[in-house]
Amino acid sequence: MSTASAFARAKAEGRAALVGYLPAGFPDLEGSIEALTVMVEHGCDVIEIGLPYTDPVMDGPIIQAAAQQALDNGTRSKQVLQAVEAVAKAGAPTLVMTYWGPIERYGVAQFAADLASAGGAGLITPDITPDFGQEWIAAADEHDLDKVFLVAPSSTDARIAMTTAASRGFVYATGVMGVTGGKQATADVVRPLIERTKATTDLPVGVGVGVSTGAQAAQFAQYADGVIVGSAFVRALLEAPDRATGLRNLAALTEELAAGVRGRA
Protein backbone atom coordinates (compact mmCIF):
# COMPACT_ATOMS: atom_id res chain seq x y z
CA MET A 1 0.00 0.00 0.00
CA SER A 2 1.25 3.49 -0.81
CA THR A 3 1.38 6.35 1.67
CA ALA A 4 -1.29 8.16 -0.34
CA SER A 5 -3.65 5.19 -0.18
CA ALA A 6 -3.09 4.73 3.57
CA PHE A 7 -4.15 8.34 4.12
CA ALA A 8 -7.04 7.92 1.65
CA ARG A 9 -8.27 4.85 3.50
CA ALA A 10 -8.20 6.72 6.82
CA LYS A 11 -10.06 9.62 5.26
CA ALA A 12 -12.70 7.26 3.83
CA GLU A 13 -13.17 5.93 7.34
CA GLY A 14 -13.72 9.46 8.59
CA ARG A 15 -10.58 9.62 10.70
CA ALA A 16 -6.97 10.71 10.70
CA ALA A 17 -4.09 8.35 9.93
CA LEU A 18 -1.70 7.31 12.70
CA VAL A 19 1.98 7.61 11.81
CA GLY A 20 4.46 5.93 14.19
CA TYR A 21 8.21 6.43 14.50
CA LEU A 22 11.08 4.41 15.96
CA PRO A 23 14.77 4.51 15.09
CA ALA A 24 16.14 1.43 13.36
CA GLY A 25 18.44 -0.55 15.63
CA PHE A 26 16.71 0.41 18.86
CA PRO A 27 16.94 -1.52 21.10
CA ASP A 28 18.73 -3.59 18.42
CA LEU A 29 17.98 -4.35 14.78
CA GLU A 30 15.72 -7.36 15.47
CA GLY A 31 14.09 -5.55 18.38
CA SER A 32 13.26 -2.52 16.26
CA ILE A 33 11.72 -4.67 13.53
CA GLU A 34 9.66 -6.53 16.13
CA ALA A 35 8.52 -3.29 17.77
CA LEU A 36 7.58 -1.60 14.50
CA THR A 37 5.63 -4.69 13.47
CA VAL A 38 3.70 -4.50 16.76
CA MET A 39 2.91 -0.87 15.98
CA VAL A 40 1.53 -1.84 12.55
CA GLU A 41 -0.52 -4.70 14.02
CA HIS A 42 -2.05 -2.45 16.68
CA GLY A 43 -3.07 0.44 14.48
CA CYS A 44 -0.27 2.48 12.89
CA ASP A 45 -1.25 3.28 9.31
CA VAL A 46 2.15 4.58 8.24
CA ILE A 47 5.62 3.81 9.66
CA GLU A 48 8.65 6.08 9.92
CA ILE A 49 11.95 4.36 10.54
CA GLY A 50 14.61 6.71 11.89
CA LEU A 51 18.14 6.51 10.51
CA PRO A 52 20.33 6.95 13.60
CA TYR A 53 22.71 9.92 13.28
CA THR A 54 25.45 11.38 15.46
CA ASP A 55 24.18 14.98 15.27
CA PRO A 56 20.36 14.99 15.39
CA VAL A 57 19.61 18.69 15.89
CA MET A 58 15.82 18.35 15.78
CA ASP A 59 15.66 15.60 18.42
CA GLY A 60 15.34 15.89 22.17
CA PRO A 61 16.99 13.63 24.77
CA ILE A 62 14.64 10.63 24.34
CA ILE A 63 15.24 10.04 20.64
CA GLN A 64 18.90 11.05 21.04
CA ALA A 65 19.33 8.27 23.60
CA ALA A 66 17.65 5.69 21.36
CA ALA A 67 19.66 6.76 18.31
CA GLN A 68 22.88 6.62 20.30
CA GLN A 69 22.06 3.09 21.43
CA ALA A 70 21.40 2.13 17.81
CA LEU A 71 24.70 3.65 16.69
CA ASP A 72 26.53 1.91 19.51
CA ASN A 73 25.18 -1.46 18.38
CA GLY A 74 26.38 -0.82 14.84
CA THR A 75 23.20 0.29 13.09
CA ARG A 76 24.15 2.12 9.91
CA SER A 77 22.43 2.93 6.60
CA LYS A 78 22.58 -0.70 5.40
CA GLN A 79 20.83 -2.01 8.53
CA VAL A 80 18.20 0.71 8.20
CA LEU A 81 17.38 -0.59 4.74
CA GLN A 82 17.14 -4.13 6.15
CA ALA A 83 14.65 -2.87 8.74
CA VAL A 84 12.64 -1.13 6.01
CA GLU A 85 12.46 -4.36 4.02
CA ALA A 86 11.28 -6.37 7.04
CA VAL A 87 8.75 -3.83 8.33
CA ALA A 88 7.26 -3.01 4.91
CA LYS A 89 6.20 -6.67 4.72
CA ALA A 90 3.88 -6.06 7.68
CA GLY A 91 1.69 -4.10 5.27
CA ALA A 92 2.03 -0.42 6.22
CA PRO A 93 3.83 2.07 3.96
CA THR A 94 7.28 2.55 5.47
CA LEU A 95 9.26 5.76 5.17
CA VAL A 96 12.75 6.57 6.40
CA MET A 97 13.23 9.69 8.50
CA THR A 98 16.79 10.89 8.12
CA TYR A 99 19.15 13.79 8.56
CA TRP A 100 20.95 14.66 5.38
CA GLY A 101 24.60 13.83 6.14
CA PRO A 102 24.27 10.03 5.86
CA ILE A 103 22.29 10.25 2.59
CA GLU A 104 24.90 12.49 0.95
CA ARG A 105 27.59 10.06 1.97
CA TYR A 106 25.65 7.01 0.72
CA GLY A 107 24.96 8.79 -2.56
CA VAL A 108 21.52 10.33 -3.00
CA ALA A 109 20.59 8.44 -6.19
CA GLN A 110 21.96 5.16 -4.83
CA PHE A 111 20.03 5.52 -1.58
CA ALA A 112 16.84 6.24 -3.49
CA ALA A 113 17.39 3.14 -5.64
CA ASP A 114 18.16 0.90 -2.65
CA LEU A 115 15.26 2.29 -0.62
CA ALA A 116 12.88 1.59 -3.48
CA SER A 117 14.12 -1.96 -3.92
CA ALA A 118 13.79 -2.57 -0.16
CA GLY A 119 10.11 -1.67 -0.51
CA GLY A 120 10.45 1.70 1.24
CA ALA A 121 7.87 4.37 0.44
CA GLY A 122 10.09 7.45 0.65
CA LEU A 123 11.97 9.83 2.93
CA ILE A 124 11.07 12.34 5.60
CA THR A 125 13.84 14.94 5.66
CA PRO A 126 13.93 17.14 8.79
CA ASP A 127 17.03 19.14 7.86
CA ILE A 128 16.63 19.80 4.18
CA THR A 129 14.04 22.02 2.58
CA PRO A 130 13.00 21.73 -1.08
CA ASP A 131 15.13 24.73 -2.06
CA PHE A 132 18.24 22.76 -1.00
CA GLY A 133 16.87 19.34 -1.90
CA GLN A 134 16.94 19.31 -5.70
CA GLU A 135 19.14 16.25 -5.92
CA TRP A 136 16.81 14.29 -3.65
CA ILE A 137 13.70 15.52 -5.47
CA ALA A 138 15.12 14.28 -8.78
CA ALA A 139 16.11 10.90 -7.31
CA ALA A 140 12.75 10.44 -5.58
CA ASP A 141 10.87 11.21 -8.78
CA GLU A 142 13.00 8.75 -10.72
CA HIS A 143 12.30 5.96 -8.21
CA ASP A 144 8.65 6.83 -7.50
CA LEU A 145 9.29 7.67 -3.84
CA ASP A 146 7.45 9.96 -1.42
CA LYS A 147 9.12 13.25 -0.51
CA VAL A 148 7.91 14.37 2.90
CA PHE A 149 9.18 17.86 3.72
CA LEU A 150 8.35 19.80 6.88
CA VAL A 151 6.48 23.02 7.45
CA ALA A 152 6.73 24.90 10.76
CA PRO A 153 4.74 27.50 12.68
CA SER A 154 7.45 29.99 11.68
CA SER A 155 7.11 29.25 7.94
CA THR A 156 5.80 32.05 5.75
CA ASP A 157 2.82 31.30 3.50
CA ALA A 158 5.13 31.53 0.50
CA ARG A 159 7.49 28.92 1.95
CA ILE A 160 4.58 26.64 2.83
CA ALA A 161 3.37 26.85 -0.79
CA MET A 162 6.89 26.14 -2.09
CA THR A 163 7.22 23.18 0.29
CA THR A 164 3.88 21.54 -0.42
CA ALA A 165 4.45 21.94 -4.17
CA ALA A 166 7.60 19.82 -3.83
CA SER A 167 6.09 17.20 -1.49
CA ARG A 168 4.56 13.81 -2.19
CA GLY A 169 2.88 11.36 0.20
CA PHE A 170 2.00 13.84 2.88
CA VAL A 171 3.18 17.11 4.39
CA TYR A 172 4.70 17.07 7.87
CA ALA A 173 3.51 19.99 9.99
CA THR A 174 5.75 20.62 13.01
CA GLY A 175 3.41 21.04 15.96
CA VAL A 176 5.76 23.03 18.17
CA MET A 177 8.71 25.34 17.73
CA GLY A 178 11.13 22.99 19.38
CA VAL A 179 12.68 19.54 19.34
CA THR A 180 11.03 16.13 19.61
CA GLY A 181 9.90 14.87 23.00
CA GLY A 182 9.78 18.32 24.59
CA LYS A 183 6.83 20.63 25.04
CA GLN A 184 3.34 19.53 24.04
CA ALA A 185 1.76 20.73 20.83
CA THR A 186 -1.37 22.79 21.35
CA ALA A 187 -4.32 23.67 19.13
CA ASP A 188 -3.54 27.40 19.05
CA VAL A 189 -0.31 26.64 17.19
CA VAL A 190 -1.30 23.48 15.31
CA ARG A 191 -4.64 24.51 13.88
CA PRO A 192 -3.52 27.69 12.07
CA LEU A 193 -0.52 25.85 10.63
CA ILE A 194 -2.68 22.99 9.34
CA GLU A 195 -5.12 25.48 7.84
CA ARG A 196 -2.37 27.54 6.19
CA THR A 197 -0.85 24.34 4.79
CA LYS A 198 -4.11 22.86 3.51
CA ALA A 199 -4.84 26.14 1.73
CA THR A 200 -1.91 25.38 -0.59
CA THR A 201 -2.32 21.67 -1.33
CA ASP A 202 -4.59 18.66 -1.68
CA LEU A 203 -1.94 16.47 -0.06
CA PRO A 204 -2.75 15.08 3.38
CA VAL A 205 -1.18 17.07 6.24
CA GLY A 206 0.08 15.30 9.35
CA VAL A 207 1.05 16.92 12.64
CA GLY A 208 4.06 15.72 14.61
CA VAL A 209 6.58 16.85 17.27
CA GLY A 210 4.97 17.43 20.64
CA VAL A 211 2.22 14.83 20.10
CA SER A 212 2.19 11.92 22.54
CA THR A 213 -1.29 11.11 23.87
CA GLY A 214 -4.63 9.75 22.66
CA ALA A 215 -6.33 12.94 23.79
CA GLN A 216 -4.04 15.08 21.62
CA ALA A 217 -4.56 12.67 18.71
CA ALA A 218 -8.33 13.03 19.06
CA GLN A 219 -8.08 16.81 19.18
CA PHE A 220 -5.74 17.17 16.20
CA ALA A 221 -7.64 14.53 14.17
CA GLN A 222 -10.46 17.07 13.92
CA TYR A 223 -8.46 19.10 11.38
CA ALA A 224 -5.26 17.20 10.53
CA ASP A 225 -5.14 14.23 8.15
CA GLY A 226 -2.50 12.47 10.18
CA VAL A 227 -1.08 12.34 13.69
CA ILE A 228 2.65 11.56 14.00
CA VAL A 229 4.12 10.16 17.20
CA GLY A 230 7.77 9.33 17.92
CA SER A 231 9.25 10.05 21.34
CA ALA A 232 6.28 8.53 23.19
CA PHE A 233 6.84 5.20 21.41
CA VAL A 234 10.56 5.34 22.15
CA ARG A 235 9.83 6.12 25.80
CA ALA A 236 7.49 3.12 26.04
CA LEU A 237 10.43 0.89 25.14
CA LEU A 238 13.11 2.84 27.03
CA GLU A 239 11.28 2.84 30.34
CA ALA A 240 10.11 -0.77 30.33
CA PRO A 241 11.98 -3.14 32.69
CA ASP A 242 12.24 -5.81 29.99
CA ARG A 243 11.54 -6.24 26.29
CA ALA A 244 8.24 -8.15 26.63
CA THR A 245 6.81 -5.45 28.88
CA GLY A 246 8.09 -2.82 26.45
CA LEU A 247 6.24 -4.44 23.56
CA ARG A 248 3.04 -4.71 25.64
CA ASN A 249 3.30 -1.02 26.56
CA LEU A 250 3.98 -0.18 22.93
CA ALA A 251 0.87 -2.10 21.81
CA ALA A 252 -1.25 -0.35 24.44
CA LEU A 253 0.03 3.09 23.45
CA THR A 254 -0.58 2.33 19.76
CA GLU A 255 -4.16 1.34 20.56
CA GLU A 256 -4.70 4.48 22.64
CA LEU A 257 -3.45 6.64 19.77
CA ALA A 258 -5.40 4.62 17.17
CA ALA A 259 -8.55 5.25 19.22
CA GLY A 260 -7.55 8.91 19.39
CA VAL A 261 -7.32 9.38 15.61
CA ARG A 262 -10.83 7.86 15.49
CA GLY A 263 -12.05 10.58 17.85
CA ARG A 264 -12.27 8.26 20.85
CA ALA A 265 -9.98 9.58 23.53
**What are the residue numbers of the active site?**
48, 59
Using the contact rule CB under 8 A, the part of the chain among 113-121, 136-144, 150-158, 189-197 near another protein is: 150-158
Cβ atoms of 16 and 257 within 8 Å: the answer is no
Using the contact rule CB under 8 A, the part of the chain among 21-29, 47-55, 195-203, 255-263 near another protein is: 47-55
Helices (H), 73-213: 77-88, 100-106, 108-117, 134-142, 157-166, 187-198
For residue 35, what are the CA distances in angstroms to 21, 143, 252?
10, 28, 12
Among 24, 35, 44, 128, binds another protein (CB under 8 A): 128
**Strand arrangement, sheet containing 94-97:** 146-148, 122-124, 94-97, 46-50, 17-23, 226-229, 205-208, 171-174, 150-151
Q: Which residues pair with 20 in a beta bridge?
A: 47, 229
Angular region, 42: left φ>0, alpha ψ -120 to 50, beta rest: alpha
Among 71, 116, 137, 251, binds another protein (CB under 8 A): 71
- How many residues touch another protein under the rule CB under 8 A: the total is 46
Interacting residues with another protein between 172 and 231 (CB under 8 A): 174, 176-179, 182-183
Among 5, 9, 89, 105, binds another protein (CB under 8 A): 105
Which residue's CB is nearer to another protein, number 32 or number 37?
Answer: 32
Q: Under the criterion CB under 8 A, does residue 58 sit at the interface with another protein?
A: yes
**Footprint on this chain of another protein (rule: CB under 8 A):** 53-58, 60-61, 64, 68, 71, 76-78, 100-106, 126-129, 131-132, 134-135, 149-156, 159, 163, 174, 176-179, 182-183
